[in-house]
Amino acid sequence: MIEINGEADARYTRLLERRIWIDGCFDFAHHGHAGAMLQARQHGDELYVGVHSDEAISENKGPVVMKLAERLEAVEGCRWCTKAISGAPYVTDPKVLDKYGCKYVVHGDDITTDANGEDCYKAMKDMGRFIVVKRTPNISTTDLVGRMLLYSKEHFLPKVTPVDYDRFFKGIVPENPLLRPDAVERYKSYATCEDGLNPGVGVFLYTEADEQLHEIVKPDRSNWLPTREIYYIDGGFDLFSPGHIVALKTLRKIADESNALVIAGVQDDSSVNSHKGLNYPIMNLFERSLCVLQSKYIDGIVIGAPYKPTVHFLRLFPMEVTKAFHGPTRELDDPYSEARELGIYQQLGEHAYDSMTTEDIVERVLENRKAYEQRQKRKGWKSERENVLRQQEKLPADQ
C-alpha cells in the first residue's frame, strides 16, 4: 500500500473508489469474459484485470488451453481493460488490490471456489469490497471445450435474410436470433467506448440474398468522419485466438499511421463450415461477433460478412475502403481476387501469433482429452459445493 498524506491522500482515496479490479482465468477470449469486464468498467474510471497463472489454474480448476502470455493478449485487447496484471492469485487477496490502488473487486452472481471448495472472494466480501454483476448466460470455457469434444453443430445459427431485417427495421421481432431484442441490446453494450457507457464502434449487418449492408448500431460520429478511409479485414474469428487478436492489433497500428478506420467482417456459420468442415465454427456467429466487437483495435464490425469481399460489397460502406487485409491462410481458393483487381488487397505481415489457427487450439484440447474430461468431472464436484455456498448467500441458481 502506498503511504501518502493530506490532499494527496484524498486524491488517492478517490482513485481507490474508482479504480476497479476483476480477476479470472480468461481461458479462451469468449464474450462472457468481455461481458464481465464491461460491467466492471461501468463501475469505475479504470479497470485492472488480474490474470491467474497457468499453475494456479491447474491446481484449482484444471488444465488451461491458452497459456498465460496468450491469455494476457486477450485481456489487454479488450476495450474496457485499463491494465492487465499477470499472475494474480487464484484466491483474491486484498493486499494485491491495495498494491494496485483498487478498492473493489467485481465478480458475477455465481460462486467461484478454490481447490478446497472455499469461496475465492470470501475475504473481499467480509471487508465490503465486493461488487456483484450479472453473469453472462449460456457461454463458458467449459461449454466450448464440450463442443470440441462432442463435435456438436447445434450451436450454429441461420443466415439473416432480407425478411428478417425488414421485420427488425419495422420493430417486429424477427425469427432469426441474431436480430432479436436481447441480441441487439448486447451489440449496443459491446459497441460502447472505453467507459462502457457511451457510443463507440459501429455494428453493420450484411444480408447476402439482396447484397445489402445495414447499420444496426450507430458508431461515435465524431470518430466516423466522411474524410476517413476504411481498412477492411475479415475472417471467421473462431475461438478468437491470439492469432486473431494480434492480427487486429497489428492492423490497428498500420491504420493509425493513415488515420484510417478498421472494420472487421465476421463470416456466418454456414460459410465458415463450408470451408473448414467438421463442426467448425466452434463459436456461432453471435458469439464470434461479440468477441470481435469488444476488441479495442477495431472501429466497427460486419455481422455475416461475405466469404468473398466483392467490389459491390466493398462499395457499400459509408466511406471508401482503400485497403483489404488478410493474414496467412490455409484456404486453397482465393477469396480476395476482386480486391486484388482493385489494387487494394494487402497481406497483413508477420506477427507473434501469425501461424496460430482455430484448428491448432482444438488440437490442444484433443491431445489432452482425458485431462479435460477429468476437468469436467471435477467441475461437477465443485458445482455441488458452489451450490451450497450460493444457497447460503441466497444467490440465484447457476445458469
Residues 194 and 327 in one domain: yes
Task: Please indicate whether residue 110 or residue 295 has the higher confidence score (pLDDT).
Answer: 295
> Phi-psi bin for 290: left (phi > 0), alpha (psi -120 to 50), beta?
alpha
DSSP 230-291: EEEEEE--GGG-HHHHHHHHHHHHHHHHTT-EEEEEEE-HHHHHHHH-TT--SS-HHHHHHH
Does residue 144 sit within a domain? no
Residues 219 and 174 in one domain: yes
Does residue 253 sit within a domain? yes
pLDDT tier, 107 (very low <50, low <70, confident <90, very high otherwise):
very high
| Three cell numbers, residue 354 | 501469425
Mean pLDDT of 273-283: 93
Does residue 89 sit within a domain? yes
pLDDT at residue 30, as a whole number: 79
Mean pLDDT of 194-208: 97
Cα separation, 29 vs 26, whole angstroms: 6
Does residue 142 sit within a domain? no
Does residue 111 sit within a domain? yes
Cα separation, 268 vs 301, whole angstroms: 13
**CATH number of the domain bearing residue 273:** 3.40.50.620
Residues 182 and 86 in one domain: no
pLDDT at residue 139, as a whole number: 64
Mean pLDDT of 298-319: 97
Residues 125 and 173 in one domain: no
Residues 177 and 310 in one domain: yes
Report how far Cα 358 is from the mean position of its chain's Cα atoms: 15
Per the listing, cell 481461458 goes with 27
pLDDT at residue 135, as a whole number: 78
The helix or strand, by DSSP H or E, that contains position 22, with its residue range, turns out to be strand 19-24
Does residue 97 sit within a domain? yes
Look up the pTM and report it.
0.88
| Three cell numbers, residue 157 | 445459427
Count structural domains, the chain: 2
pLDDT tier, 360 (very low <50, low <70, confident <90, very high otherwise):
very high
Residues 357 and 377 in one domain: no
Residues 85 and 157 in one domain: no
Query: Which domain, by its residues, includes 381?
Result: 6-137+370-392
Does residue 333 sit within a domain? yes
Residues 127 and 252 in one domain: no
Cα separation, 53 vs 59, whole angstroms: 10
Cα separation, 47 vs 81, whole angstroms: 5
Cα separation, 220 vs 237, whole angstroms: 24
